[in-house]
Structure 1
Amino acid sequence: MPRYLGALLEIGLIVFCLIEAIQAEDGRVRNLPKWAWILLILFIPYAGPIAWLVAGRPTMSSAGRQVPWPSTQTAGFPEYERPRQVAPDDDPEFLARLAASDSTDLRLLAQWEADLREREAKMRNAEAEPDDGTDTPPRPTGP
């Protein structure tokens, strides 16, 4: 098994680098044309694939840049045409929605408090009224 390990490593390296070189975009390949890298990988064992990994493969920084310089969100817009971005606390529509929400919440809270007071009053009145004494056990008195 150890004597086949070198051949398997070479074949795996060639296949990996060859697939990567074929799939790379022409403009992103470094130092040589794409076809030259493919030939180098195929005909020079070990050195070709390793050279591709070191010197020919597109780098992450070059592969990631899709937007031309300057890569800002508003590139190409003159200053007066840029979309206006307003912070939420400066936006009058947002503040109006908050005020409406607050007033709705306050009305709902006042209604709940009134309902609670009404239920408590009913309970106090029910306790104050004399029972007919049929189903209710007597209340314990304090010491």
Structure 2
Amino acid sequence: MPRVLLIIAVVMLTVYCVVEVAQSRGYRVRSMPRWLWAFAVICVPVIGPISWLFLGRPVKETRQLPPTAKAPDDDEDFLRGLR
């Protein structure tokens, strides 16, 4: 029974990583090209998916939002004009 659970866990991890590699289109993948990551995840059973999780996943880019207009109660010029 533990052997079956281990095989199921490895298969689930591999499927998860294959889907994640496929969905990384448009992002900059680290270390290797995307096609090589797909090959490694599929052909190297445990090491490939674990390597993808730690070394290959795209880094989230932090986007800075443009400054937005202040609410009227936060705008000092607006509050001065009320007096």
What is the TM-score of this pair, normalised by structure 1?
0.47
RCO greater where, 1 or 2, for CA within 8 Å and sep 6 or more? 2
Q: Partner of 1:20 in structure 2?
A: 20
Report how many aligned residue pairs link the two structures: 81
Q: Does 1:88 align with 2:75?
A: yes
Q: Partner of 2:51 in structure 1?
A: 51
DSSP 3-state at the match of 1:73: coil
Distance 1:48 1:42 in 2: 7
Distance 2:49 2:43 in 1: 10
1:42 Cα shift?
A: 0.4
1:26 Cα shift?
A: 4.2
Gap regions ≥5 residues in structure 2: none
DSSP 3-state at the match of 2:32: coil
Distance 1:43 1:56 in 2: 16
Q: Which residue identity is paired with 1:31?
A: S
Distance 1:24 1:7 in 2: 26
Q: Partner of 2:62 in structure 1?
A: 65
* Residue deviations 1:67-101 (CA, integer Å, cap 9, x gap): xxxx4636xxxxxxxxx979634227851xxx6xx
Distance 2:58 2:62 in 1: 12
What is the TM-score of this pair, normalised by structure 2?
0.76
Gap regions ≥5 residues in structure 1: 75-83, 100-143
DSSP 3-state at the match of 1:91: helix
Q: Say which one has the larger Rg.
A: 1
- Name the one with the larger helix percent: 1
* Residue deviations 1:109-135 (CA, integer Å, cap 9, x gap): xxxxxxxxxxxxxxxxxxxxxxxxxxx
Q: Partner of 1:119 in structure 2?
A: none
Q: Which residue identity is paired with 1:32?
A: M
User: What percentage of aligned pairs have identical amino acids?
Assistant: 32
CA contact (8 A) 1:32 1:56 kept: yes
